[in-house]
Amino acid sequence: MSKLLTVSPSPHINSNQSVEKLMFGVVISLVPVFLASLYFFGIGALIITTISIVTCMLTEMIIQKYLLQTEIRIRDGSAIVTGLLLAFNLPSNLPWWMVVLGSVFAIGIGKMTYGGLGNNPFNPALAGRVFLLISFPVQMTSWPLPITSRMHYIDAATGATPLGYVKEAIRNGETVSDAMTQLPDHMQMFLGQMSGSLGEISALALIIGFLWMLYKRIITWHIPVIMVGTVYIFTGLLWLIDPSKNAAPLFHILTGGVLLGAIYMATDLVTSPMTKTGMVIYAAGIGIITVVIRVFGSYPEGVSFAILIMNAFVPLINKYVKPSRFGKEVKHG
């Protein structure tokens, strides 16, 4: 035989998956969410998303090229996903330079300091968001009104998020049911007609994205379902105890980024546990911490902090929660 043959160990075929395809799948699944943000916030949504993606990609490229002097892996698409998700966690009227700062922090500190893709313990987009929230609390909590602010960017008219409004009302001694009369109804909230960050408003768009990612097997159902379920049960119990001081569970799920967090932020492959049992513990932990912050803390929302806190527990979960090995139990029938 004249030709040399390739000799390598088995397996000799692979599933033809790649990191690029996974990341691209996430991007595709975010299209409905992006369209919803364009519909409700117009030009601001476009500006924020563009700046965030471009800055994230540039930051990663510059760090890889000049600081680390390694191969530039920008093509894996992970920086695009981080950029998109960071933008979806911001209000549409945030000054452009804050978006740049947040993106640089997300990639530079949140991801590259740990060694880049696959090594970061915390969700980079959330690290960026929380950095901005702590640094610029006023700008980060002024929320443009939906639809009316379509043609405005910085100068958009603002209002409270439903969750913020209810929190404030409870603090002022009003009952939840009084506060609810001032808010959009559940169907409007489900479609996304409320103040909030770009990606958190439309439950419909988020659920479409979720189903797409399930269909493409990018994520499993465990984290989103358990996290949302935990929030529902916990807030439901509180609501049953005192409905005048606590909002209904469905309200909690439709507002304040629970769905965005459950479907896109908590499921980040790199920063979530490796076993199904681990995922359940992690997701339930996020749900509980979210409600604790919302109900007993000073922030109206709690999803970002809850996810970052549980991110810190992931190595511990991975160490102690092992798959149930084959052949561990001997069954005699």
Partner 1 sequence: MLKTFPKGGVHPPENKLSAHLPIRQIPLPPSVTILLSQHMGAPAKAIVEKGDQVRAGQLIATGEGFLSGNVHASVSGKVTRIDEVQDASGYKRQAVFIETAGDEWFEGIKSDDILEKDFDIDGQEIIKRITEAGIVGLGGATFPSHVKLNVPRGKKAKFLVVNGVECEPYLTSDHALMLEKGEEIMVGVQLLKKALNVKLAHIGIENNKPDAIRHLKELSAKHEGIQVHALKVKYPQGGEKQLIRAITGREVPSGGLPVDVGVVVFNIGTVYAVYEAVQKNKPLIERIVTITGKDIKQPSNFRVRIGTPISALIEAAGGLPENTGKVIMGGPMMGKALGNSEVPVVKGTSGILILSDTESSRSIIQPCIRCAKCVSVCPMCLEPYLLMPLAQQNKFDTLEAAHVMDCIECGSCSYICPASRPLLDYIRQGKSSVGKIIRSRKK
Q: Residue 268 and residue 225: Cα distance in Å, rounded?
A: 15
Of 32, 229, 275, 309, which one interacts with partner 1 (CB under 8 A)?
275
Q: How far is CA 133 from the centre of its chain?
A: 15
Of 138, 181, 185, 328, which one interacts with partner 1 (CB under 8 A)?
328
| Cβ neighbours of residue 204 closer than 8 Å, sequence gap 6 or more | 32, 36, 190, 191, 192
Is 3 one of the binding residues for partner 1 (CB under 8 A)? yes
DSSP assignment of 219-279: S-SHHHHHHHHHHHHHHHHHHHH-TTTS--HHHHHHSTTHHHIIIIITT-TTTS-SSHHHH
The least distance separating partner 1 from the CB of residue 223, rounded to whole angstroms, comes to 11
Q: How many residues comprise the chain?
A: 333
Q: Residue 113 and residue 108: Cα distance in Å, rounded?
A: 6
Is 69 one of the binding residues for partner 1 (CB under 8 A)? no
Question: Candidates 145-153, 181-189, 201-209, 264-272 — which segment interacts with partner 1 by CB under 8 A?
Answer: 264-272
Question: Candidates 130-138, 162-170, 248-256, 317-325 — which segment interacts with partner 1 by CB under 8 A?
Answer: 317-325
Q: Tell me whether residue 220 or residue 244 sits nearer to partner 1 (CB atom).
A: 220
Q: Tell me whether residue 45 or residue 279 sits nearer to partner 1 (CB atom).
A: 279
Is 325 one of the binding residues for partner 1 (CB under 8 A)? yes
DSSP label at residue 40: H
Q: Which of residues 210-229 bind partner 1 (CB under 8 A)?
A: 220
Of 8, 172, 181, 298, which one interacts with partner 1 (CB under 8 A)?
8
Q: Tell me whether residue 163 or residue 218 sits nearer to partner 1 (CB atom).
A: 218
8 A C-beta contact, residue 273 and residue 282: yes
Q: Residue 261 and residue 29: Cα distance in Å, rounded?
A: 15
DSSP label at residue 86: H
Q: Residue 4 and residue 307: Cα distance in Å, rounded?
A: 52
Q: By C-alpha distance, which of 280, 275, 268 is closest to 311?
A: 268
With vertex at residue 138, the alpha carbon angle to CA 141 and CA 110, rounded to the nearest 5 degrees, is: 75
Is 58 one of the binding residues for partner 1 (CB under 8 A)? no
Question: Candidates 7-15, 139-147, 161-169, 202-210 — which segment interacts with partner 1 by CB under 8 A?
Answer: 7-15
Is 249 one of the binding residues for partner 1 (CB under 8 A)? no
Q: Tell me whether residue 7 or residue 138 sits nearer to partner 1 (CB atom).
A: 7
Of 175, 240, 243, 276, which one interacts with partner 1 (CB under 8 A)?
276
Question: Candidates 2-10, 224-232, 247-255, 295-303 — which segment interacts with partner 1 by CB under 8 A?
Answer: 2-10
With vertex at residue 30, the alpha carbon angle to CA 28 and CA 32, rounded to the nearest 5 degrees, is: 100
Q: Tell me whether residue 75 or residue 182 sits nearer to partner 1 (CB atom).
A: 75
3-state secondary structure of 144: strand
Is 10 one of the binding residues for partner 1 (CB under 8 A)? yes
Is 116 one of the binding residues for partner 1 (CB under 8 A)? yes
Is 173 one of the binding residues for partner 1 (CB under 8 A)? no
8 A C-beta contact, residue 290 and residue 315: no
Is 137 one of the binding residues for partner 1 (CB under 8 A)? no
Q: Tell me whether residue 2 or residue 298 sits nearer to partner 1 (CB atom).
A: 2
Size of the site for partner 1 (CB under 8 A): 46
Residues at the site binding partner 1, with contacts judged by CB under 8 A = 1, 3, 5-15, 17-19, 21-22, 73, 76, 78, 116-119, 220, 269-276, 322-333
